[in-house]
A and B are shown apart, each in its own frame.
Chain A
Amino acid sequence: MTTVIDVQHLTKQYKDKTALDDVSLTIEKDTIYGLLGRNGAGKTTLMSILTAQNFATSGQAHLFGEAPYENADVLSRICFVRESQRYPDDATATHAFKAARLFFRNWDQELADRLIDDFQLPMKTTIKKLSRGQLSAVGVIIGLASRAEITFFDEPYLGLDAVARQIFYDRLLQDYAEHPRTIILSSHLIDEVASLIEKVIVIDNGRILLHEDTDALRGRASTVIGDAAKIEAWADGREVLHRESLGRVASVTVLGHLSDADRAAIAAADLDLAPVSLQQLIVRLTQNAAHPESTTSTMAGEAR
């Protein structure tokens, strides 16, 4: 595997907040990554530094083996679709695409035209007057049609309805299949992107919490539901991510793959087994990282 991004001990310190805390990671070529984490976890800061739009306090980031700052070659090979991209007041989408066409060497106008049609984007209205969803569509179109070797999408779906998001996911997969490249997709809609992303990076409080193959995470955790006493007996000695109870019924989410024997024991004890989605797993892992002692909640507690 070829590494296209190499990050070593990257730290970003703002006045009173550490946005990135000694982050090291490598990104492989032609792979779709999901960069996941809560608001303020450091996703945008990381992508801004990698695209030379922000400076690190310490540590290094290399793209294609080079530092990105004022490096025209590196910058023309990457594309960063920001969640809050600013455009000149009188610019229309036509202007934005013309500029992108000049800048990105792999720009595909035919693809851009098809996407404009897909998203039914008005081309003569100034970008300022576009809706939130249409503004997101402008970014998505630039991100896809630029065919940059590394494309960063920072929550590209804001304001897009379910149909438009599906168009984005479908076109992304389709174009990626024909023109493989590295895609880094930051998203809160984890279950929506779970089957698109080959690798997952979870960032929490400026640190990398998880960096794994998405498929390896499937089946990593399971939820068992049933009689509280039986559940406690079964979960004894296992790594419990989450507990809930309502009267005599309890549910525990445990980490670790279940063996056939485990499944048989669950069935024999008359307990129910439910899969844990990637989103639930990541929510639980991030919660545990933040409050390792409070894995227990009751329904009454959550209702408050």
Chain B
Amino acid sequence: MIDEGRPLFIQIAETIEESILDGSLAEEAQAPSTNELAAFYRINPATAAKGVAVLTDKGVLIKRRGIGMFVAAGARGILLAERRTSFAEKFIDPLIAEARTLGLDDDDLTALLRERSARFEGAENAASTEGNHP
């Protein structure tokens, strides 16, 4: 799972975030400890601790003294809001910029979005039906 090009602690934080987002790590459940992460991914415990610190800083994980690390109530909400913001910055902003250069106003854009979205769903349904009947 380790990708050479990026800091390890960020990758560790991301794998925990993914587990929270997909529900495999529930809110208020106990999160893996720094040492468990270090042993599992075979990485230096200081690096694992840095990854965990990213999440405690965001309020996604909470340290309960003497018991361990827990997923905060509302952690999923925090992560979804964060993903939503980065989605808007990464995809919506350039979309709007390009629409402006093409002279499309917001109504045109919304209509276009609906049209493509309908086709996308249609294509997806077709794909899944195909998958069911090989």
Contacts and interface: CB of A to CB of B under 8 A. Distances in A.
Contact of B44 (A178, A198, A216): A198
Interface in A189-217: 195-198, 214-216
A258 to B, nearest CB: 9
A176 B34 CA distance: 12
A215 B42 contact: no
Interface in B38-94: 38-39, 41-47, 50
Q: How large is the interface on A (under 10, 10 to 19, 20 to 34, 35 or more residues)?
A: 20 to 34
Interface in A165-180: 169-170, 173-174, 176-178, 180
B49 to A, nearest CB: 10
Interface of A is mostly: mixed
B52 to A, nearest CB: 13
Interface string B1-21: 011111111000000000000
Interface residues on B, range: 20 to 34
B35 interface: yes
Interface of A: 31-32, 169-170, 173-174, 176-178, 180, 195-198, 214-216, 218-219, 222, 275-278
A214 B42 CA distance: 15
Contacts of A195: 2, 8, 41-44, 47
A219 B7 contact: yes
Contact of A173 (B4, B7, B8, B45): B45
Given A177-B35, A177-B38, A215-B50, A196 B5 contact: no
B6 A196 contact: no
B44 A197 contact: yes
Contacts of B39: 170, 173-174, 177
A95 B13 CA distance: 46
Contacts of B7: 215-216, 218-219
Interface residues of chain B: helix, strand, loop or mixed (majority):
helix
A182 B2 CA distance: 25
B35 A218 contact: no
Contact of A219 (B6, B34, B43, B45): B6
A272 to B, nearest CB: 13
Contacts of A219: 5-7
A302 B45 CA distance: 39
B50 to A, nearest CB: 7
Contacts of B4: 218, 275-278
With most chain A CB atoms within 10 A of its CB, the pick from B2, B3, B4, B43 is B4
Interface string B21-46: 00000000000001100110111111
Contacts of A31: 46
Given A174-B39, A177-B38, A215 B47 contact: yes
5 contacts: A169-B42, A177-B38, A177-B39, A198-B44, A219-B7
A18 to B, nearest CB: 33
Nearest to B35: A177
A276 B5 contact: yes
Contacts of A169: 42
Nearest to A195: B43
A215 B9 contact: yes
Nearest to A277: B4
Contacts of B47: 195, 198, 214-215
Contact of A170 (B2, B42, B50): B42
Given A176-B45, A178-B35, A215-B7, 14 more contacts: A170-B42, A174-B39, A177-B39, A195-B42, A195-B43, A198-B44, A215-B9, A215-B50, A218-B6, A218-B8, A219-B5, A222-B5, A275-B5, A276-B4
Contacts of A176: 45
